[in-house]
Structure 1
């Protein structure tokens, strides 16, 4: 009996020791597995940086606030002949924040479900558009010779992977040819495997190097979030500072970002370039306003104007918007980490899963930011994407009248 008690005590000590050693990983894994649960999603989306590794981006030393002239929202908007009540849709889609900037003035700044002006909300793939801006800046500085170069010219660790020899431009345009299942509703999809790998401390670089080619690069538009991680790896290799420091220096400080932000990172300190930013509603809007004005901010050209133009201009058949495009997996067009809606004039968007949007209409000088935590995101019967675009266009029309 004493012998078994002794063994039990040893086992208990071992279990407690292992639990203590891996407690952080277990917490992260639990959040990753339950991230989109109905009873947890709202709080999860505004607290991810407290559970995962995160780097801090300090607020600007000279914070900027848009002037304010409170306006209204339309009561309804239309989709395919159906009239939808705006407030009902905001509730149905789990909206946590909505901001409208028109002609450089804040007309709407609303918060829901406990969100506040100083709440940092996960960007998901809206963060990809920030990475695109950094890439354009680094290219202009000569840190990257050309987007015609292969990513493996800068990240040799990817030789032998699906990214071996792939042009930077094809990676920018989500046309790398790498196979990847981005279905968030599939527990075993590549993107969900990736989320669990991060929770368990797996290197982002190692996960990226494990992927394989599915198609010839530059021939088919297939959304692969890891493509953006590759862009982050290129930047990491050519910059003399981290991505976080570069973002703070080149965007956060000059744009007068009012709040600190957080960038999720792996256990090696590599940023989650594909979508790990945690930013307040009003600071997302400043980034949108920068792009609404061709990369200029208060008279200073921060992002090269040609880069902004190229970023939102599809330049090959597989990148063109249209529901019947056989060379694309999406009805939207694609640029350098920016989405171009169907039937767009000059509109473009940054988008993140579960309905994060920065909608930009430059000729109308309009920016709309919508943050959400919609647990029904994967229910395609709601036509979420079409409804959001109809909503944004209705708000634009509302402010033209």
Structure 2
């Protein structure tokens, strides 16, 4: 009898522990040092849909330069790129100058040229590229209401918002992006993805904060609705549209994938689900740095690239956003003409068309957001761009 009681107690404790782990899985998997593994193995943890590499990959010519000692200043202290990697938990890092791979390193424990990194909200900027292609083809219209493509959103805070509003994060829906608040909408979003919930239910629960077009509010749900509209308009999944319209034309050398929700029917995340190699991320940056052109062909219209740089200028966002950023077309704009795709935990795709510099940086920050680490990264990549501009071609 005592043995039975002991077994029952052990099973009960195990069940309680399993429930606790299930409920807290996101926090565990995104904290250091576990996140270095998580961010390169997400297809082991969530359902996914592949994005096959190009049938004819486009090689990146490599001419390595000694950039590890390039210096920058942050907080009044002189540091190097080697310091940046240590201080900002870099896992993968690639630099293109004039289309040439001049530097590449993989400080992460599970990182390599073939590793596929979770890009988080860098996905938003890729979704924007895909939307631009659909708009150019006449499949999607910027002035059309999102609910036209997604009738399930009729009567919600997203009813009335257009594709243009979603691209500029001015839908008027009051989605909260506070990762530190367990009751925020973004935490409910994450819970729906990982624990079998419904993203559509989360979207329907978002309150209206302002009329469409009046209020800038950075929102992963705006990107989710944008992704739903793109899938409805094209009749293809986000992964299939990525493979056909982007991965093949840029000559991607590695398979990528979009993670999906656990709950069926599986749903891709228009603002957070792309996983790819650092080199292929750099190829996306090269596409944007060269005005949408690859090998003499416009993959995305040059006017779409232009509008991704020229709308909300740095310093024009609300006070709770870093002053060195503006926002345009699902991209973050920077002083001097550069622009960037950003993701939580330190993911960044830096594009400077004037200097013809692209930097792809994956990271495993301890927290989702860290203004100081972001500011240091911007300082370092700005200095790197200057250094490359002063170096020999």
Q: What TM-score do you get using the length of structure 1 for normalisation?
A: 0.88
Distance in 2 between the 1:69 and 1:329 partners?
37
Correspondence for 1:277: 274
Correspondence for 1:31: 25
Contact 1:28 1:52 in 2 (8 A): no
Unmatched runs of 5 consecutive residues or more in structure 2: none
* Residue of 135, 140, 149 corresponding to 1:139: 135
Contact 1:222 1:329 in 2 (8 A): no
Residue 90 of structure 2 corresponds to residue 101 of structure 1: no
Count of residue pairs the alignment pairs up = 378
* Residue of 319, 330, 336 corresponding to 1:337: 330
1:216 Cα offset (Å): 2.4
1:37 Cα offset (Å): 1.6
Contact 1:79 1:387 in 2 (8 A): yes
Contact 1:124 1:274 in 2 (8 A): yes
- Which aligned pairs between 1:305-384 and structure 2 lie closer than 5 A? 305-314=302-311, 319-322=312-315, 325-326=317-318, 329-331=321-323, 332-341=325-334, 344-376=335-367, 378-380=369-371, 383-384=372-373
Task: Provide the alpha-carbon RMSD of the alignment.
Answer: 2.5
Deviations 1:343-399 (A, max 9, x none): x2221001111111110010111101111001155454xx22221111111111111
Correspondence for 2:384: 395
Greater alpha carbon shift after TM alignment, 279-288 vs 300-309? 300-309
Where 1:192 maps in the other structure, the secondary structure is helix
1:72 Cα offset (Å): 1.9
Distance in 2 between the 1:175 and 1:321 partners?
17
Distance in 2 between the 1:213 and 1:159 partners?
13
Distance in 2 between the 1:272 and 1:227 partners?
11
Correspondence for 1:52: 46
Distance in 1 between the 2:223 and 2:281 partners?
19
Where 1:274 maps in the other structure, the secondary structure is coil
Distance in 1 between the 2:154 and 2:319 partners?
26
Contact 1:60 1:256 in 2 (8 A): yes
Unmatched runs of 5 consecutive residues or more in structure 1: none
Distance in 1 between the 2:174 and 2:203 partners?
11
Residue 83 of structure 2 corresponds to residue 88 of structure 1: yes
Deviations 1:67-114 (A, max 9, x none): 011112244202364323332221111100111000111000100122
Distance in 2 between the 1:263 and 1:328 partners?
31
Contact 2:168 2:328 in 1 (8 A): yes
Distance in 1 between the 2:81 and 2:183 partners?
35
Where 2:250 maps in the other structure, the secondary structure is coil
Residue 189 of structure 2 corresponds to residue 185 of structure 1: no
Where 1:399 maps in the other structure, the secondary structure is helix
Contact 1:56 1:260 in 2 (8 A): yes
Residue 122 of structure 2 corresponds to residue 130 of structure 1: no
Distance in 2 between the 1:113 and 1:228 partners?
29
Deviations 1:29-51 (A, max 9, x none): 55323132223111111111211
1:189 Cα offset (Å): 2.5
* Residue of 117, 128, 152 corresponding to 1:121: 117
Where 1:228 maps in the other structure, the secondary structure is helix
Distance in 1 between the 2:295 and 2:284 partners?
13
Distance in 1 between the 2:102 and 2:158 partners?
44
Distance in 1 between the 2:339 and 2:235 partners?
31
1:232 Cα offset (Å): 0.5
Contact 2:317 2:327 in 1 (8 A): no
Correspondence for 1:241: 236
Deviations 1:133-166 (A, max 9, x none): 111111111112x312211121111111111111
Correspondence for 2:290: 293
* Residue of 241, 257, 262 corresponding to 1:262: 257
Deviations 1:225-246 (A, max 9, x none): 1100010010111112211111
Structure 1 residue runs of 4 or more that deviate by more than 6 Å after TM superposition: 25-28
Deviations 1:242-287 (A, max 9, x none): 1111110111112111111110112312211111111000000001
Distance in 2 between the 1:42 and 1:348 partners?
26
Correspondence for 1:200: 195
